Structure 1
Amino acid sequence: MTRPDEATCEAIVRGRLSDPFAVLGMHGTPPAITVFAPDAGEVTVLDGKGKPLGTMERIHPEGVFHLAFEKKRKPFAYRLHCRAGEHEWEKEDTYRFGPVLGEMDEYLLAEGRHEELWTRLGAHPMTHDGVAGTSFAVWAPNARRVSVVGHFNAWDGRRQPMRRRIGGGLWELFIPGIGVGEIYKYEIVGAYGDVLPLKADPVAFQMEHAPGTASIVAAASDRTWTDTEWMEKGRRDLRDQPVSIYEVHLGSWRRGDGDRILSYTEVGPLLADYVKEMGFTHVEFLPLSEHPYTPSWGYQPIGLFAPTSRFGDPDDFAAMVDHLHNADIGVIMDWVPAHFPSDEHGLARFDGTALYEHEDPRLGFHKDWNTLIYNFGRTEVSNFLRSSALYWLRELHVDALRVDAVASMLYLDYSRNEGEWLPNRHGGRENLDAIDFLRDVNTQVAERSHGTTIAEESTAFPGVSRPVEQDGLGFDFKWNMGWMHDTLQYMSEDPFNRRWHHDKMTFGLHYAFSENFVLPISHDEVVHGKGSLLNKMPGDDWQRFANLRAYLGWMWTHPGKKLLFMGSEFGQSREWSHDRSLDWHLLDDQRHAGIQRLVRDLNAVYRGHRSLHARDCEPEGFRWIDGGDADNNVFSFLRLGHDGDPPVAVICNMAPVLREDFRVGLPMEGRWRETFNSDATEYGGTGSGNGGSVTADGQGWHDQPVSASITLPPLATVILTPDT
């Protein structure tokens, strides 16, 4: 190779060398070496045994060195010895190492079918050509130059520009001597020649604790799991299983002394013990992907492959999941593919163009959240998001993803006025690219992982939880937002007025089996001035607590899986705040402790009686006894399982009136146990009830063959099961 000319040297020192591997490193026959070492006054080339082979010529005053080896005919291994004044050091030359990625990586990425994208992109500690270091790879097809920067090169983007792989828009670089714990970013010269703000790695596995924004080289995925038995169960069809979800914001569930935020490893055992004691089957975490802004609760993520460093590193996160699995508790995490924040270190205009997002704000901007919308029609973008979903499920053993804000993905006019959106190619409002993306994600999750997907979808879009092959979106479950809104509105009414709102409680049964539903009382219902669940209930203190107990009884016996936000299980009084712990001291008050005992017992009843969960998603699993008793504010119904499963009768009295000798129709004569009564004294109630059982005689009632005369406590839910 001839000595680089002045223009090439200027490109090197100005950071404008588009193809560094064409100039830097060893080239030609006989071979010659060119290096850029702006911090060195002198550079000597050493052979593989450390023997000096010659001092390089400085061919540019800002640190370009060159040396030709006229007597050698073949390439050889070498190191560099550098000197600056009295300081001396040795190093490997980054530009003597070949590529790590292969042509298949380029092909699969361009096709949008690199289903294990995380194994190739991002930062991977490895040994390459016998030398330890880290391989970096990033997608930036329109960039003119991409460099890895960090403390190891004084954050100087001129020093380690990456190799560009033309086919797929990938950039890669193996940097010797860089290991686990090193922080880094990408310096990108954008499509129009400007140096962009430093970017975090989109496929980083670990990131700095906020307010830091750098990526961190994480250890290779060789962690030891002890949840083998749990994982070997494989993909679970949960439709006929009890699913009772405890929704948690990890930073405010519990805190340590001095309001200290607990780590993954600290909170994992505490949470596992509590959730198991309470009888919940799953924990659902508000997003734990890395996010720059704490008050976003994780719903504006930057790192879709990185557990947030607020609570520890990825191994700590894995340890928490492992601990929960060993307590037989499933792990659900909120996953946010609907939008991303415009923070300059993130994905926004990543290579100087609208790469992950749409250029046109009518397609690419959420004004409600001040966030950007992914371009789901771009194969590389959908591949990136799909790989993120699979990463959490496969590598970090998460069991299910609750997909946030699905409605905003499905409709091009979501929260937009006329003229603020663009129709699809057929002139409609559906986002066809997003629909295809969601179907693809759900298909890949089903085929390539043990995971379940749950949609937060608030409209009547058809077939959200119908299989893709039946023209559905392919989710396993959908949040029943209509049920939540209607029933909370009913419960907020003064009992005197409830007779005129009776349909708010019954309407949900008209569509209860149109989807596989989760009944969500989530974080969204206890923030932004909405008040706590307890304080949504009307009346004096006695009525508020009784109403809440009755409502939870209604919820746990209604068709659909259950989700309850933390704090609601003991009647948290204050509205939830992300920056303080739950008010655990309230459990010193027996009324709050009673709510907690009630939820624990409801979980036990729900899990212990198959008729309360086995046909949650089938109309055959529910039958009204009397759904029209509006004057009395009473609802009564049967929950039914499969052949051989005893029926369960539920009677809810939503009036503050004790009803004695209240006759209710039942399907079987004989003794029926009062399996649950929300007015029991151990829950803080009056203790009104039926002495443990009632007897159904031959008198038909409510279109049932027999009936029983019962005492129906005020503002209470009663569960009866046949004594078989």
Structure 2
Amino acid sequence: MLEADVAQALVEARHGDPFAVLGLHTDAAGALWLRVLNPQAAAVSAVVGGQVVAPLTARGDGLFEGRLPGKARVDYRLKIQWAAGGEGEYADAYAFGPQLSDDEIRRLRDGNEARAFEILGSQPVTHGDVAGVRFAVWAPNARRVSVVGSFNAWDGRRHAMRLRHDVGVWELFVPHAQAGDFYKYELIGADGHLQPLKADPYARSTELRPETASVVAPLPPKRRLPPGRAEANRRDAPISVYECHPASWRKGRDGGFPTWEELANTLPAYVAGLGFTHLELLPISEHPFDGSWGYQTLGLFAPSRRFGPPEQFEVFVQACHDHGLGLLLDWVPAHFPTDGFGMARFDGTALYEYQDPKEGFHRDWNTLIYNFGRSEVRSFLASSALYWVERWGVDGLRVDAVASMLYRDYSRPSGEWVPNHHGGRENLEAIALLQHVNEVLGREAPGAITVAEESTSFPGVSQPTYLGGLGFHFKWNMGWMNDTLRYIHEDPIHRRYHHHQMTFGLVYAFSENFMLPISHDEVVHGKGSLFDKMPGDEWQKFANTRAYLGFMWGHPGKKLLFMGQEWGQRGEWNHDVGLPWHQLDDARHAGVRRWVGDLNALYRGTPALHRLDCEAQGFEWVASHDEESSVYAWLRHDGQGGSVLVVCNLTPVPRHGYRLGVPSTHGAWREVLNSDSEHYGGSNVGNGPQALAVQALAAHGRSHSLALTLPPLATVFLVPA
């Protein structure tokens, strides 16, 4: 019989090694003893070969034990009479040996496991004829860990787990648990105190908020990127991204969150119909607070339950690919929220986060910063990145808040941050992590891309790691965005004094592979929508909006536009309601949308506008110093003889006979797009479809020139006739 103090530790859920006493054991005399802890049972018997061989004696508080006949170990089952009524025959969790193989333990211990999601978390498996779920969780400093859930009445005494000491992982096979079961982990922390029930950091599915349980879900199969995706993601390809917050793009049939199926039936077709090449979703990984827009995530492996069962996400991904769209997801490795059911002090210690709040607490967002230097956290984050690409088939990730990761003094005053071991401000661990993530994706998911939201001048963000860079494919050009939005907000009469703000971006435009972002961040928190930023009366606001978008599409760099801005949405984006689609009843807004569609068509179909987006050879100024007229003109080249002339007149004054120096290699040019066309809601001033002859008159340092009509507050595109 079990010693009283050991029995008491079991029933009080204090025992740190339940496998040492529960299940089948041999005593000093060679006799077999079976022990079972199940507080919901009224009676338990041992069954061998379909026959009851020994009723077990109740020791109190759900502990049963008894001696089995013979001395040879046997395959047994438990016949349980439940205190609430009914009975059944079950396999015993403590009849099964270690679940993680030596190879899996070694891979976790090495700290570079790119697919930790195959090892940790909940995995439906079968042992012999017994189906169940293998649970495994990293909690090295916990004194005891149990998995609790809908399969054991949320009783932490029933399924205490086995500790694999080499890696600090607790594991257990729970017979008869299955996909769809709810679960969490119950831990006694390093200090001996019971922690709040913890959701699984590796959960692939969760309850809908405000509920917080993890849900057992099978591992999605591996998926290959569609043929041609690698080609479509190249730096010389046209990349035009529609950024979308799916919860507020269009509400569901019931006025709440749209389902993945509803989104699949509408969103990809809409985005593809406007000529965008990629769709980017704000974070869809599970998060507790709607108002964070997904940027405070606690489910880095779980598509949010807001949009229905996670498996429906596959339908949406396929719909994007069927429409020829690449799908990018916003991904957040910088920080996580402090909710008690999440990763904060997961095992009673700072496990996923830095211990020192000078390193581990984000003052701006009241969140916790991942401990980027810890190998297990490195594996967690790298595995999450690979998971979305490899298991869901998305085409790439836009990585949020990279600047906050790169600098230890980010948004911290002097004395409130911890220098690196060289005494500098760079977070060397975060740099190494980002390089590692990009290398993993490059090796394991070729063709996928990563895009950095990085707002500083940190060098080499989009340089390969073998050259010392971070390894991203593209970087958001935040400087360009800030400068040009400040300029366009000025009344045209004052723009002459801010002329450089539209040209300064070309000083550094080819130092990185840039993407030009007019993102969600620019249309909230009192900043106004893109349309609202424009000065002047209604006519000028529309004209400015179209002209600015034309400037953006003609400028070197890939494009990104947040939803609603494609028609010049009035009013800020509100995540609680759907987009104001009724505004498209106004022909002027519909005209802006047609303009964006035609810009995308020209951009995609004209190699000079995209092939050398990231190369200095693809850009040539024609007129950059006409401050008095607020005129800008430049040439885009494709490196193979093709060119486009882009001209912006950012005052409301039409300019007739405006002469621009152009190459003598082309005898005539033809206007192909004009934002002032009546087709888009403009005044229809322009150059018409006829060819415009190049004349042997010097201008802008060239021997030949072209005389143009420049419409008011407009951007025009011309190609050789």
Q: 1:416: which partner in 2?
A: 412
How far did 1:258 drift? 5.0
In structure 2, relative to structure 1, the CA distance for the partners of 1:595 and 1:235 (3 Å cut) is closer
Q: Does 1:520 align with 2:527?
A: no
Q: Secondary structure at the match of 1:255?
A: coil
Return the alpha-carbon distance in structure 1 between the equivalents of residues 566 and 465 of structure 2.
36
2:121 is aligned with 1:122: yes
Deviation of 1:610 (Å): 0.1
The aligned counterpart of 1:156 is 155
Corresponding position of 1:56? 56
**Root-mean-square deviation over aligned CA pairs:** 1.4
Match of 1:364 among 360, 365, 375: 360
Partner of 1:718: 716
Distance 1:81 1:471 in 2: 62
- Secondary structure of the residue that 1:107 maps to in structure 2? helix
Q: CA deviation at 1:85?
A: 7.5
Deviation of residue 70 (structure 1)? Answer: 4.1
Structure 2 partner of 1:383? 379
1:292 is matched with which residue? 288
Most deviating of 89-98 and 520-529: 89-98
Q: Counterparts of 2:378 and 2:232 in 1: how far apart (Å)?
A: 25
1:12 to 7, 10, 13: 10
1:404 alignment partner AA: D
Matched residues in 2 for 1:57 and 1:153: separation? 21
Equivalent position of 2:685 in the other structure? 688
Question: 5+ residue gaps in structure 1?
Answer: none
- CA deviation string 1:435-489 (max 9, x = no partner): 1111111111111113211110000111111111111111111000000000000
Which residue in 1 is equivalent to 2:186?
Answer: 187
> Partner of 2:212 in structure 1?
213
Q: 1:235·1:449 contact (CA, 8 Å) conserved in 2?
A: no
**1:150 Cα offset (Å):** 1.0
- 1:620 aligns with 617
Contact in 2 for aligned 1:80/1:93 (Cα 8 Å): no
Between 117-126 and 484-493, report the one with greater CA deviation: 117-126
- The aligned amino acid for 1:401 is L
Alpha-carbon distance between aligned partners in 2 of 1:719 and 1:73, rounded to the nearest angstrom: 87
Judged with a 3 Å threshold, the aligned counterparts in structure 2 of structure 1 residues 662 and 540 are, in CA distance, closer, same or farther, namely same
Instruction: Report what 2:578 is aligned to.
Output: 581
- TM-aligned CA distance change 1:222 to 1:414, over 3 Å: closer
Look up the equivalent residue of 2:33 and give its one-letter code: A
Q: How many residues align?
A: 715
Bigger shift: residues 84-93 or 485-494:
84-93
Question: How many Å apart are 1:299 and its aligned residue?
Answer: 0.3
Cα contact 1:358–1:364 (8 A) shared by 2: yes
Structure 1 residue 371, shift from structure 2 partner: 0.3
Residue in 2 that maps onto 1:196: 195
Equivalent position of 2:668 in the other structure: 671
> In the alignment, what sits opposite 1:639?
636
**What do the CA deviations read for 1:312-367 (whole angstroms, capped 9, x no partner)?**
22211121011101111000111000000000011000000000011110010001
% identity of equivalent residues: 53
The Cα of 1:697 is off from its aligned counterpart by 2.1
Structure 1 position 236, deviation (Å): 5.8
Q: Is the 8 A contact 2:121 2:200 kept in 1?
A: yes
Per the TM alignment, residue 76 of structure 1 is displaced from its structure 2 partner at its CA by 2.5
CA positional deviation for 1:237: 5.0
Of residues 343, 347, 352, the one that matches 1:351 is 347
TM-score normalised by the chain length of structure 1:
0.97
C-alpha separation between the residues in 1 aligned to 2:516 and 2:194?
49
Give the counterpart letter for 1:471 in structure 2. Answer: G
Counterpart in 2 of 1:435?
431
In structure 2, the CA distance between the partners of 1:83 and 1:472, relative to structure 1 (3 Å rule), is closer
Which residue of the partner structure matches residue 506 of structure 1?
Answer: 503
Compute the displacement of 1:72 (Å). 3.4
Matched AA of 1:30:
A
User: 2: CA distance between counterparts of 1:396 and 1:30?
Assistant: 52
- In 2, the alpha carbon distance for the partners of 1:256 and 1:56 equals 55
Alignment check: 8 A CA contact 1:340 1:374 kept: yes
CA distance in structure 1 between the partners assigned to 2:527 and 2:158 by the alignment? 54
1:47 corresponds in structure 2 to 48
Written as runs of structure 1 = structure 2, the 5 A alignment for 1:454-469 is 454-469=451-466
The alpha-carbon distance between structure 1 residues 403 and 233, as it changes in their structure 2 partners (threshold 3 A), is: closer
* 1:30 equivalent in structure 2: 31
- 1:480–1:520 CA contact under 8 A, matched in 2: yes
Matched position secondary structure for 1:142: coil
1:537-566 CA-partner distances (Å, limit 9, x unpaired):
000000000000000000001000000000
SS at match of 1:502: helix
Query: What letter matches 2:17 in structure 1?
Result: D
**Other-structure match for 1:113:** 112
- Distance in structure 1 (CA, Å) of the matches to 2:471 and 2:482: 25
Counterpart contact for 1:117–1:387, Cα < 8 Å: yes
Aligned counterpart in structure 2 of residue 595 of structure 1, from 569, 592, 595: 592
CA separation of 1:326/1:40 partners in 2, compared to 1, >3 Å: closer, same or farther? same
Pair 1:37–1:116, CA change in 2 (3 A): same
- Say which is worse superposed, 597-606 or 78-87, in terms of deviation: 78-87
Equivalent pair of 2:622/2:635 in contact (CA under 8 Å): yes
- TM-score of the aligned structures, taking structure 2 as reference length: 0.97
Distance of 1:11 and 1:129 partners within structure 2: 32
Compared CA separation, residues 597 and 86, structure 1 to 2 (3 A): closer
Q: CA deviation at 1:67?
A: 1.3
* Larger deviation, residues 487-496 vs 663-672: 663-672
Structure 2 CA distance, aligned partners of 1:535 and 1:13? 65
Which residue does the alignment assign to 1:278? 274
